[in-house]
């Protein structure tokens, strides 16, 4: 199974390294490898969240995630997205933006001799808007999880009180909107305040619309007996049944499409900071696309499929909780980065810490269950 899941990623990664070597010799190969390793090591929380959504999708939409979704992740987010930012913010057409990317100023300067900004400079200047959009999208995802009651809790001392106050309707939206106003007021400078507000509102609207549509079409799936469910699962997996998603609730048709769309927007939100942060290593868009996309994004998808096929989320019950707390941390870091520059390695290590702690807690809980003679199925429904 491992060879089948990771085989294509390995082949494509080798091909990407060969292309990087042909393109920029040993320097290109080294930079490509570094970017790929960083993307893989810092995106495990992304893979866990993807897996929670993917396991509710039909086999057809899982295959779409691995084919069309890969193309969107590799070419859309890692190559075209930075070019689109330069295109929009600098008023350049796509061809001119690509030419600017491929011809940086000599000596790594921030501007050309005529004073015009470099490709890297334009991207960094657009970071506040990018961070506001991605931060608000991820913040709503986190809030909708922690403000929902769950059969199992990880940080019970905190998650249970949050679930209790989460009964207030639309509380997550109210908290997110208040956070955006505070960020715009106290972290944004005068030149970026309005654009940060607009970008943040768009991030919230995007989450609400895509999450709402995917949940709506899941409820409308024919042949599904919702009377047996304690709650309807939303696109972020915040509402859980005692036994987890069953086969009959796997989304198909329109529901599958909107879950797929939700998954791609979610992946994009995770990618924003990494794509911009990659310019601290290299400003070459080809190397970035090869390292982050062809190596990093491919392996993240393979890890996602591995988690689904192996039933890892069911076996390690707190992984989903840890991943959502990592998302909450990433959302806060993105919003703080509107004013404070935070190294992407720090961002990734915070996520790894939450995932690692959740994994250790899950292993400990499983050992206690085995020692007490609790079966695996019964353990899932026992409140923690």
Question: Rounded to the nearest 5°, which phi and psi values hold at 57?
Answer: -100, 150
DSSP-derived letter for residue 280 is: G
Written as one string, the DSSP assignment of 221-253 is: -TT--GGG-SS---TT--S--TT---GGG-B-H
How many CB atoms are located within 10 Å of the residue 163 CB?
Answer: 17
Residue written as tokens 């997110």? 176
Q: What is the pTM of this model?
A: 0.78
How many CB atoms are located within 10 Å of the residue 21 CB?
Answer: 15
Written as one string, the DSSP assignment of 309-331 is: HHTHHHHSTTHHHHHHHHHHHHH
pLDDT of 246-282, one tens digit each? 444 455 667 778 788 888 887 777 776 667 667 667 7
What is the length of the chain?
384
Q: Exposed/middle/buried for 41, CB within 10 Å: 0-12, 13-18, 19+?
A: middle
Q: Is the pLDDT of residue 178 over 90?
A: yes
Report the DSSP beta bridge partners of residue 111.
Answer: 117
Are 334 and 273 spatial neighbours (Cβ–Cβ below 8 Å)?
Answer: yes
Total domains present in the chain: 1
Mean pLDDT (whole number) for 362-378: 78
Question: The tokens of 235 are what?
Answer: 């696109």
| Domain of 317, in residue numbers | 2-381
The most confident of the ranges 38-52, 129-143, 337-351 is 129-143
- List C-alpha distances in Å: 305 to 104, 115, 145: 38, 48, 22
Distance from C-alpha of 17 to C-alpha of 346, rounded to nearest angstrom: 26
pLDDT of 95-143, one tens digit each? 887 788 777 776 666 777 677 787 778 878 888 888 898 889 889 999 9
Distance from C-alpha of 189 to C-alpha of 194, rounded to nearest angstrom: 10
Task: Report pLDDT for 200.
Answer: 93
Question: The tokens of 214 are what?
Answer: 């995917």
Q: Exposed/middle/buried for 14, CB within 10 Å: 0-12, 13-18, 19+?
A: exposed
């Amino acid at each position: 199974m491992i060879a089948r899941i990771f085989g294509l990623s390995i082949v494509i990664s080798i091909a990407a390294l060969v292309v990087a070597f042909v393109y920029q010799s040993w320097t290109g190969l080294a930079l490509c490898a570094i970017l790929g390793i960083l993307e893989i090591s810092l995106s495990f929380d992304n893979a866990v969240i993807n897996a929670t959504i993917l396991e509710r999708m039909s086999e057809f939409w899982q295959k779409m995630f691995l084919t069309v979704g890969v193309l969107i992740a590799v070419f859309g987010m890692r190559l075209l997205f930075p070019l689109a930012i330069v295109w929009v913010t600098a008023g350049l057409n796509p061809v001119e933006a690509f030419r600017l990317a491929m011809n940086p100023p000599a000596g790594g300067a921030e501007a050309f001799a005529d004073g015009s900004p470099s490709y890297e400079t334009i991207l960094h200047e657009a970071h506040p808007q990018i961070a506001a959009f991605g931060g608000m999208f991820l913040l709503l995802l986190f809030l909708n999880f922690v403000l929902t009651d769950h059969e199992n809790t990880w940080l019970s001392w905190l998650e249970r009180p949050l679930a209790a106050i989460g009964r207030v309707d639309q509380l997550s939206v109210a908290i997110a909107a208040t956070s955006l106003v505070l960020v715009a007021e106290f972290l944004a400078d005068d030149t970026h305040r309005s654009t940060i507000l607009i970008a943040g509102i768009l991030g919230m609207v995007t989450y609400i619309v895509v999450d709402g549509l995917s949940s709506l079409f899941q409820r409308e799936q024919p042949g599904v007996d919702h009377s047996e469910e304690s709650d309807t699962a939303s696109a972020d997996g915040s509402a859980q049944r005692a036994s987890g998603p069953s086969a009959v609730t796997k989304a198909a048709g329109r529901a599958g499409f909107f879950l797929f769309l939700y998954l791609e927007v979610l992946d994009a939100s995770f990618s924003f900071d990494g794509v911009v942060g990659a310019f601290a290593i290299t400003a070459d868009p080809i190397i970035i696309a090869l390292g982050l996309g062809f190596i990093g994004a491919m392996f993240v998808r393979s890890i996602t499929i591995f988690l689904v096929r192996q039933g890892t989320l069911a076996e390690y019950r707190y992984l989903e909780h840890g991943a959502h707390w990592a998302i909450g941390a990433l959302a806060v870091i993105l919003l703080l980065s509107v004013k404070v520059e935070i190294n992407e390695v720090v961002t990734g290590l915070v996520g790894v810490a939450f995932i690692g702690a959740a994994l250790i807690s899950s292993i400990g809980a499983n050992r206690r269950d085995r020692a007490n003679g609790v079966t695996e199925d019964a353990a899932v429904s026992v409140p923690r």
